[in-house]
Amino acid sequence: MLKWLNASMTRKISGLSFVLLSFLLIVILYSVYKLQSINQEMREVADIDIPLTDTISQIDKYQLQQDLLLARLHELDAQATLDHEQQARLIGRIGRHTLDTHEALAQLESIIQTGLHRRRIRLDIKAHRSLVQQIHQLRRLQQSYSDQTIRIIDQLPALPKTLWAPLHQQEAELDRQMSQLLAQIETLTQTIATTSEHQERNFMLINATLGISALGIGLYLTLYIIQSFRTRLGHIQTQIKNLQNSLHHPATKPTQPHLDGPSKTNSTISSPVQAQQNGFAPPRHQDELSGLEQDLRQMLNHWSETLQNRDQVEQHLLTLATTDQLTGIFNRHKWDEQISQALDRATTGEPFSVLLVDVDYFKQVNDQHGHDVGDQVLYVLAQTLSEHLLQQCRIFRLGGEEFAILMLNTDDSAAQKRAETLRSLIEAHQWAPLPSITISIGGSSYQKPDNAQSLLKRADQALYEAKKAGRNQVSWH
C-alpha cells in the first residue's frame, strides 16, 4: 500500500482507473443479463398484454352495442307494424355485430395461442390455456344468441313476453361469461405487470449498489486529477477576465497569457499568484475553483442578459406579427402558417376541418352603435369562441368581422357538431350591455388533393349559403 502511495501519478491514475473500469464492467455485464430478462418480460407485455387490453376495449364496446340492439328490438316490437326493410336492416346490424364480436374473440385466441406457441408467455401458462377454452365457449354462445335474436326479429311486432324470456336469459349468461373472461384477462395482465415491476426494482437496487461503489472510486480519481491541474487554473482565470473585459469594452483587446510560464510583458498577468506578488489586489478566493466559478458566473450572467434582451425583442416582434391587435387572437399571417402545416400533416392521414365565421348584420351594429361598440363585440366574440374551442383547435381573425377556425385532428362529423355548438353558444350568449349578435358558419373538411385555396373556397361557399338561407346557421361543403 505504501509502495503504491509513493508511486508516480501515472501509476496511481492507472491503478485507480483499472479498479473503476472493473466495477463498470461488472455493472455492464450484470445490466446486460438483467436487461435480457426484463426485455423478455417487456416483449410479453408488448406482444401479449397490450394487444389483449386493446381487444378487451373493443369487446366492451361490442357488449354495449349488443345492449343497444336489444333495446332497439323492444322498440320495434312496440310498433304497430314492421316492414321488411326495417327487419333487413336490423338483421344486418346483428350480423355485423356478431361478426365483429367473433373477430375480437378470435383475435384474443390468436394472441394467446401465438404467445404460447412462441413461448413468450412465461407466467400462468395454465391460466392462459384455460382462457382459450372459455373463448371457444363464448363464441358458440354468441352465435346461439345471434340466431335466437334473428328468430325473434322474424316474429316482430307484438311478440308475446314469454318468447322474450329465453333471449334475456341467454343475453344475461353471455354477459356473465364475457365479464368473467375479461376479468380473468385483466387479472393476468396485472400479475405480469407486477412481476415486471418487481424485477425492475431489484435490477435498480443492485445496479445502484455497484454504481455507488464505482462512483466512490471515480470521485477519488477525479479529485486526484483536479489537484494535479490546479496550477493551470490561474491562467484560465486570467483568460476569462480578459474575455469579460473585452465584452464590456469591445475596444479593449484581450491579452493572451502564456500557459507554460510567466508573461514576458509587464501588461499581462499570468496568474493570480503572480498578480499578488507584483503588488496587485490579492485573489478573492483561496480556492482557485471558487474564483473560476465566480468569473464564469459573471461572464455567463452578462451573456445571459444580452441573449435574454434579444429573445424578448424577438418574441415581441413575433407576437406583433402573428397577433390581431383588436381581439388578441391570431391574425391572417398566422393563419397562412398554420393552414400550411395542417396540409402537410394531412398528407400522412391526419384529418382536419376549417370553419369560416361571419357576424350577421355587423354593419348595422357599427351604424347604430358606433365602431367602438362594434370593436367590443368583435373582442367579446373572439374571446368567447376561444374559451369554448377544443385543445386542438385554433381561431384566427382574417379581417373585419370574419374569423377562421382551424380544427386539427378532427373529422367531418365532429367538426360539424362543434360548429353547431359554437353557433348555439353565440346565439344564447348574454351580450348586455352590448347588442346581441348571431353568427353564420361555413365549413369544410380536408379532401385530397386540397390546397389552402380550394379548402377555403369550399368553406367560403358554405358560408355564403348559410347567409343566403337566412343567417344564424351552419352550412357545410
Residue 75 and residue 203 in one domain = yes
CA distances, 390 to each of 71, 354, 418 (Å)? 33, 14, 9
pLDDT digits (tens, 9 = 90+) for 318-345: 777 889 999 999 999 999 999 999 999 9
- Is 172 in the same domain as 45? yes
Give the Cα-Cα-Cα angle 363, 364, 369 (nearest 5 degrees): 110
328: left (phi over 0), alpha (psi -120 to 50) or beta: left
DSSP-derived 3-state class of residue 82 = coil
Active site includes 103? no
Residues 25 and 160 both lie in one domain? yes
Clarify whether residues 209 and 352 are in a common domain.
no
Residue 383 lies in a domain: yes
Q: Residue 257: what pLDDT?
A: 46
Residue 325 lies in a domain: no
Say yes or no: 207 and 339 in one domain.
no
What secondary structure letter does DSSP report for 249?
A: -
* 20 and 165 inside one domain: yes
Q: What is the mean pLDDT of the chain?
A: 78
Do the domain assignments include residue 81? yes
421 within some domain: yes
> Which residue would you say has higher pLDDT here, 191 or 41?
191
Domain count, the chain: 2
End of a domain among 208, 223, 238? 223
**Structural domain of 456:** 332-476
* pLDDT recorded at residue 170: 78
Whether 337 and 458 map to the same domain: the answer is yes
Domain-located, residue 4 = no
Q: Out of 113-117, 346-350, 450-454, which region has the weakest mean confidence (pLDDT)?
A: 113-117
Domain boundary, last residue among 206, 223, 240: 223
Burial class (CB in 10 A: 0-12, 13-18, 19+), 158: exposed
- Taking each helix axis as running N to C, give the angle between helix 84-117 and helix 125-154, from 0 to 180 degrees, rounded to the nearest 10: 170
SS3 at position 471: coil
Which residues touch 253 (CB under 8 Å, ≥6 apart)?
Answer: 246
* Residue 326, domain member (yes or no): no
* pLDDT, tens digit, 9 for 90 and up, residues 145-173: 788 777 777 767 666 667 777 777 878 88
Task: Report the 10 Å Cβ neighbour count for 196.
Answer: 19
Q: Given 192, 223, 254, which residue is the final one in a domain?
A: 223
Residue of 171, 173, 401, 427 marked active site: 401
Three-class SS state of 441? strand
C-alpha cell at 302: 452578462
Q: What is the pTM of this model?
A: 0.39
**Residues 341 and 219 placed together within one structural domain of the fold:** no
Closest to 273 measured CA to CA, from 227, 238, 225: 238
Which backbone phi and psi does 445 adopt, to 5 degrees? -110, 155
In a domain, 34, yes or no: yes
Instruction: Kindly report the CATH number assigned to the domain that includes residue 428.
Output: 3.30.70.270
The dihedral of CA 249, 252, 256, 261: what is its sign? negative
Same structural domain, 345 and 204: no
In a domain, 360, yes or no: yes
Q: State pLDDT tens for residues 90-104.
A: 778 888 878 888 888
